[in-house]
Structure 1
């Protein structure tokens, strides 16, 4: 873990640095500052994990630190250090990981650093999870997850010919000729793909990929024949809508 120390007293900075270097080799001090403005510059230049921050300083109190990061994320843990315990409540309101009274006790410093390490690790895990979530969101733009008995298939939208209702299940016909039985209703897939115009529901039992239409058959009623020779009925209340779509698009 990396840290910086912000304190207007040179002696206080030296004592804290010595304590950390002697007792906590897992913490590397990247820099120091004697006031909040300089400290913020050091933070932005070094991106530390922990900031040891004095409260009583000239010009700006350490409690004002968040006002210097209004439009920027706070990625570091704050451990306030002060000789005055009346600031404890204000410090904790700023989500400080801990609050140390001067002269700093070694055991209290140890506890504060341990708390910071836990919080830092949690933040790293959350960051990784958010990145993974973004990756899955990108994946979902082009693929759909099909829950099969042995796990989950991730199938590209363009590789799906159609969905067919089968009671509370759904048959999914794939471009490679395979058919998968999924333990989800057709409504589940209809709702999931509502913003994908390539998928169209000509009948309450079918959701088709328009890319794979082969023929429109007018015999008794209207039917669509897909490229896999599967015949799909067009519901009466969908016939005019479908015909209008065909006229506009072809």
Structure 2
């Protein structure tokens, strides 16, 4: 699967070197945009929904761009291009660094991280454990999850509910790559089941079963940005 790639070179003296090294070492990388500043780079990320970002900038600009990208609901691989190998400090599987002095070798070393899950016909189902075994639910039939202490209540399209002895956090991790988002300490919703975003009473979502789901203040921008990514606004 080709991975849309953006290059941001705020220093301005290594763009051609980056393009050449990426094309040589990452055959699945499709460079869809280049920029010499973070502001336009953010626009490119939104436009192309890029999965890989190479950035050469001041560390403070890199950190600020990372924050803005995540606020808008994107989660690409951030690859910080440093001057020397002594600066390299890979934070996690999504925040990586490469050394400009040994660019091609550095990219090869981190290339195994740059994977994208292939779509599967079974990825829209989750297994729900119970005393009698495991029930496999289509995520399309789930409207939202509600926390109940160390349990979670799953609300389904047919009006039924399922009580599961798992915390809401467990479901948040499992559903992170699907159209589900945590809107509040006690709720995860299926974005495909949202029919209205309301600003009254502190902010809430109206679901297709007329349930009103609160949105915490810290989640408002993330929820709205995710909805804007999924659905066209008139």
TM-score (ref. length: structure 2): 0.45
Q: Which has the higher helix share?
A: 1
Q: Which has the higher contact order (CA 8 A, sep 6+)?
A: 2
Name which one, 1 or 2, has greater alpha-carbon Rg.
Answer: 1
TM-score (ref. length: structure 1): 0.42
